[in-house]
């Protein structure tokens, strides 16, 4: 790394006092620069210290639990295989009557708060266990009810094992965008993503993806693949697989867990197992000239490092890095109104509020302590993150990952050391590559200057500093 960087007359960054010369050339970075140049929006990233904690603009993303059961039994699933077993008392499928009521509640809420865009995310369990007629009824009614109040957007997150030509036609007819869950090639995917007999799901999912990609219209609705990182697998094998099958994007997710129930890789694989895995993929993606899927987690971090909020697709919480969306509300199959569904990872019955669209409007949710915590804590950094160098990029982790019985959500993420290590690594690679770039005017001088000149502080409250330093030393040297 150079000791200091100065900008020349033609806006190029050059090293000063450098005894090394960088060799990192990144097409990805060039593309991001081009994106920034072409964009009208030069919105700077929001700093956590500047976040407004007062009021709430209303809920705008509604997760609709169409089915409370699944035809798969993925080993890490927060619905079935962590602390919460409340699915057992839920009806298996949402009825048209419950759907009608929840749409009315959403319409009233959107009107009350002046929300211009409302998104419905069909979720489960496995949402394609519902009959296609459910979706025709739901989408038709939502469009009609929200007409002249808000634009309605529809998404589905599916394990894809049910997708055939009829489902694809339905998505196209109704304009439902869809994401598919897949962890990699068969030998990787089937470690965790198996059915109730322990049998492989890969073949059915792969067949569905091929069908989607060969369709004339469906690829434009396919938002990409959600992949849970497994540090016991080969990262480049996984990335290469997604490149080969031609998915448009991959969102890497860290496994769910909390300080009370941490992911087991921390005891059996190492201190920063997820970061070590992701860094290998990042380096390949960042420096390779081969085209491949959009890796939005990395693109978002680069944008944040540059101080620019890049327009990345943001339906849910991508990849567990960055600011959290405090505007999500969940409807269970029985019409129960609940906060963020992944909070089920925090404990049994954790998300149960006693509210239901059959009795309550959405405004009632504001009286709930957990909803209040969800909104407030989504916008506030944990105390232990306040002095962290990467807090504006990391955001302190997602809410379930912060949770511990003692301090509730006021903890750095259980993945803290991984997040810090990964962001430090990306920062190091980007700053090297920036030496070759003509900086676009949209990129503020100050963040870029800081990015290149500063040394990252090796500070990780959730892990002993000595250990974190040892693991970070490679990334920042
Ligand atoms: S202390 Fe850890 S969890 Fe908090 S912002 Fe920094 S890296 Fe993220």
- Compute, in angstroms, the gap from residue 394 CA to the centroid of ligand 1: 6
Chain CA centroid to CA 142, Å: 26
Which element (helix H / strand E) includes 306?
helix 296-306
In a domain, 155, yes or no: yes
What number is the average pLDDT over the span 372-400? 89
Same domain, 165 and 211: yes
Q: Which domain holds residue 448?
A: 4-49+411-476
Q: Which two tokens stand for residue 408?
A: 């509730």
Which among 377, 393, 423 is the end of a domain? 377
**The pLDDT of residue 423:** 92
Q: Are 333 and 65 in contact (CB under 8 A)?
A: yes
* In a domain? residue 197: yes
Q: Are residues 118 and 250 in the same domain?
A: yes
Residues 129 and 258 in one domain: yes
Q: Does residue 105 sit in the same domain as residue 29?
A: no
Which of the listed residues 351, 377, 403 is the one where a domain comes to its end? 377
Q: What is the DSSP letter of 333?
A: T
Nearest atom (ligand 1) to Cα of 420: 7
What's the pLDDT tens digit per position in 328-367? 999 999 999 998 877 887 877 888 889 999 999 999 999 9
Q: Which atom of ligand 1 is nearest to the CA of 382?
A: 4
Residue 70 shares a structural domain with residue 11: no
Domain membership of residue 385 (yes or no) is no
Report, in this order, helix, strand and coil percent for the chain, each rounded to 5. 45, 15, 45
Q: What is the pTM of this model?
A: 0.84
The verdict on 360 and 431 lying in the same domain is no
Ligand 1 centroid–CA 447 distance in Å is: 19
Are 195 and 168 in the same domain? yes
State residue 117 phi and psi, 5-degree precision: -130, 125
- Tell me whether residue 404 is in a domain: no
Q: Residue 221 sits in a domain of what CATH number? A: 3.20.20.70
Substitution candidate for ligand 1 out of 416, 464, 469 with most atoms within 8 A of CB: 416
Q: Please give the distance, rounded to the nearest whole angstrom, from the Cα atom of residue 412 to the centre of ligand 1.
A: 6
| pLDDT given at position 472 | 40
Determine the pLDDT at residue 312. Answer: 57
Residue 19 half-sphere exposure, CB side, CA atoms within 13 Å? 0
Instruction: Tell how far the Cα of 391 is from the centroid of ligand 1, in angstroms.
Output: 6
| Reported confidence tier of residue 303, pLDDT bands at 50, 70, 90 | confident
Name the domain count of the chain: 2
Residues in a beta bridge with 158: 180
Given a contact cutoff of 8 angstroms between Cβ atoms, the answer to whether 259 and 414 are in contact is yes
The pLDDT of residue 211 is above 90? yes
Q: Decide: helix, strand or coil at residue 313.
A: coil
Specify whether 40 is located in the same domain as 79: no
What per-residue confidence (pLDDT) applies to 218?
Answer: 94
Residue with tokens 């693949």: 225
What confidence category does residue 198 fall into, taking pLDDT thresholds of 50, 70 and 90?
confident
Q: Are strands 117-123 and 151-158 parallel, antiparallel or unpaired?
A: parallel
Among 461, 465, 468, 476, residue to substitute to test ligand 1 (most atoms within 8 Å of Cβ): 461
pLDDT in tens, 120-134: 999 988 999 999 999
Q: What value does the mean pLDDT of the chain take? A: 82
Structural domain includes residue 203: yes
Q: 3-class SS at 223?
A: strand
Ligand 1 in contact with 385 (CB < 6 A)?
Answer: yes
Give the closest residue (by CA) to ligand 1 atom 1: 385
Distance from Cα 384 to the centre of ligand 1, integer Å: 8
The single residue listed with the structure tokens 């405090």 is 326
**Ligand 1 mutation pick, 412, 456, 461, max ligand atoms within 8 A of CB:** 412
Listed as own residue / partner, the contacts of 448-455 with beta carbons closer than 8 Å and 24 or more positions apart are 448/13, 448/306, 448/307, 449/5, 451/305, 451/306, 451/427, 452/2, 452/5, 452/13, 453/4, 453/5, 454/389
Ligand 1 centre and the CA of 319: distance in Å? 15
In Å, how far from its chain's centre is CA 146? 27
Q: Which two tokens stand for residue 134?
A: 């459910």
At how many degrees (to 10) do helices 465-476 and 416-434 cross? 20
Which strand (E) or helix (H) includes residue 330? strand 328-331
- Residue 163 sits at the vertex; the CA angle it makes with 87 and 293, to the nearest 5 degrees, is 100
User: DSSP string covering 365-415, please?
Assistant: GGG-HHHHHHHHHHTS--GGGTT-TTHHHHTT--HHHH-BTTTBT-S--TT
Spatial contact of 428 and 390, defined as CB atoms under 8 Å apart: no
224 and 81 both lie in a single domain: yes
On whether both 287 and 418 belong to a single domain, the answer is no
Question: What pLDDT was estimated at residue 462?
Answer: 45
| Ligand 1 centroid – CA 385 distance (Å) | 5
What pLDDT, on a 0 to 100 scale, did the predictor assign at position 147? 95
State the sign of the Cα–Cα–Cα–Cα dihedral 126, 330, 254, 171.
positive
397 CA distance to ligand 1 middle (Å): 7
For residue 465, pLDDT over 60 is answered with: no
Q: Span 197-213, mean pLDDT?
A: 94
Q: How much is the pLDDT for 467?
A: 47
Run of H or E including 120:
strand 117-123
Q: What DSSP letter does each residue of 29-63 carry, written as one string?
A: HHHHHHHHHH-S--PBPPPGGG---S------EEE
- Is 185 part of a structural domain of the chain? yes
Which of 377, 395, 419 is the last residue in one of the domains? 377
Per-residue DSSP letter, 342: G
Within a domain: 222: yes
Do both 40 and 86 map to the same domain? no
Highest mean pLDDT (candidates 156-160, 253-257, 261-265, 321-325): 156-160
Residues 61 and 22 in one domain: no
Report the pLDDT averaged over residues 95-107: 97
- 420 in a domain, yes or no? yes
């Amino acid at each position: 790394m150079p000791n200091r960087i100065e900008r020349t007359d033609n806006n190029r960054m050059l090293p000063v006092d450098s005894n090394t010369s960088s060799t990192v050339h990144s097409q990805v970075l060039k593309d991001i620069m081009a994106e920034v140049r072409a964009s009208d929006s030069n919105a700077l990233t929001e700093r956590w210290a500047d976040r407004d904690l007062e009021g709430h603009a209303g809920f705008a993303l509604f997760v609709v639990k169409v089915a409370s059961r699944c035809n798969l039994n993925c080993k890490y699933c927060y619905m079935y295989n962590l602390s919460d077993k409340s699915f057992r008392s839920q009806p298996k499928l949402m009825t048209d009557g419950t759907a009608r009521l929840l749409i009315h509640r959403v319409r009233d809420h959107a009107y009350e708060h002046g929300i211009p865009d409302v998104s419905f995310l069909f979720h489960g369990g496995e949402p394609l266990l519902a009959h296609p007629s459910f979706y025709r009824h739901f989408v038709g009614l939502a469009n009609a009810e929200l007409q002249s109040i808000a634009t309605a957007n529809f998404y589905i997150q599916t394990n894809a094992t049910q997708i055939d030509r009829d489902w694809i036609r339905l998505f196209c007819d109704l304009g439902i965008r869809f994401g598919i869950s897949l962890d990699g090639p068969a030998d990787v995917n089937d470690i965790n993503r198996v059915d109730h007999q322990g049998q492989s799901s890969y073949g059915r999912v792969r067949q569905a993806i091929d069908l989607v990609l060969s369709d004339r219209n469906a690829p434009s609705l396919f938002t990409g693949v959600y992949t849970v990182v497994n540090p016991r697998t080969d990262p480049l094998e996984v990335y290469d697989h997604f490149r080969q099958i031609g998915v448009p994007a991959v969102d890497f997710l860290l496994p769910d867990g909390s300080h009370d129930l941490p992911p087991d890789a921390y005891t059996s694989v190492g201190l920063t197992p997820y970061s070590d895995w992701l860094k290998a993929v990042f380096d390949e993606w960042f420096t390779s000239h081969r085209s491949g899927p959009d890796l939005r987690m990395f693109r978002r971090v680069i944008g944040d490092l540059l101080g620019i909020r890049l327009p990345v697709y943001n339906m849910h919480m991508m990849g567990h890095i960055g600011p959290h969306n405090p505007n999500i509300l969940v409807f269970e199959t029985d019409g129960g109104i609940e906060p963020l569904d992944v909070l089920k990872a925090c404990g049994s019955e954790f998300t149960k509020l006693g509210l239901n669209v059959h009795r309550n409007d959405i405004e009632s949710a504001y009286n709930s302590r957990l909803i209040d915590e969800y909104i407030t804590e989504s916008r506030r950094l944990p105390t232990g993150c306040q002095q962290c160098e990467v807090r504006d990029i990391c955001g302190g982790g997602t809410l379930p990952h912060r949770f511990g019985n003692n301090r509730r959500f006021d903890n750095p993420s259980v993945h803290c050391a991984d997040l810090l290590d990964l962001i430090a690594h990306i920062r190091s690679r980007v700053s090297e590559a920036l030496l070759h770039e003509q900086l676009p005017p949209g990129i503020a001088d100050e963040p870029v200057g800081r990015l290149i000149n500063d040394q990252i502080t090796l500070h990780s409250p959730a892990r002993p500093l000595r250990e974190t330093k040892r693991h970070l030393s490679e990334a920042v040297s």
